[in-house]
Each structure stands twice: as C-alpha cells, then as structure tokens.
Amino acid sequence: MLGEDHSLTQDFPEHLNTIKKLNSNDPEFADKAKKYNALDKEIRTLELQDAPIDDEEMLQLKHDRVVLKDWLHQQLLKAS
C-alpha cells in the first residue's frame, strides 16, 4: 500500500516502552531510529507524490530502510 506508515512505533507496538527507553539511554539506537523514521517519512512522501524519482533510487531508499529496521529490531529484541 502506498504511503503506508512504517514508523517503529507503528510496526513494533509491543516494544513501545523499549523504544522509549533505548531512545533515552542509547545514543546509537536513538540516532538510527531518527534516521529510520526520517527515511520512512521520505519514502511515504515520495510514494504519495507518484515517486518523482526513478525506480532504482526508490529501491535503494527502501533497502536502506530495511537495513536500519533490521538493526533496530535486533536491538529491541536484545533489550526486551
């Protein structure tokens, strides 16, 4: 679905407390979470504007988002 919200709190509602804790206490997690959410917002915006970039660029943005999401999810699992 185009324009779908994939923010950390949306995709991992069961980890809300852990996300808050790590954002407050782990600078690396907080930095990557901030980058992830900004990238997710950028992708949503581009999708809603009919992606005014080429497919390869969009695929790279989505790849980067997945890499960040995987890392963040692993940190959430370790901290839970």
Percent of the chain at pLDDT exceeding 70: 96
In 1-80, alpha helices (H): 8-11, 16-25, 27-48, 55-79
* Mean pLDDT of all residues in 19-47: 95
pTM (2 d.p.): 0.89
Give the tokens for residue 72. Answer: 């963040």
Q: Where are the domains of the chain?
A: 8-79
Give the tokens for residue 12. Answer: 């991992």
* Mean pLDDT of all residues in 32-39: 96
In sequence order, which residues have a C-beta less than 8 Å from that of residue 53 and are 6 or more positions away? 46
Q: Write the burial class of residue 78 (CB in 10 Å: 0-12 exposed, 13-18 middle, 19+ buried).
A: exposed
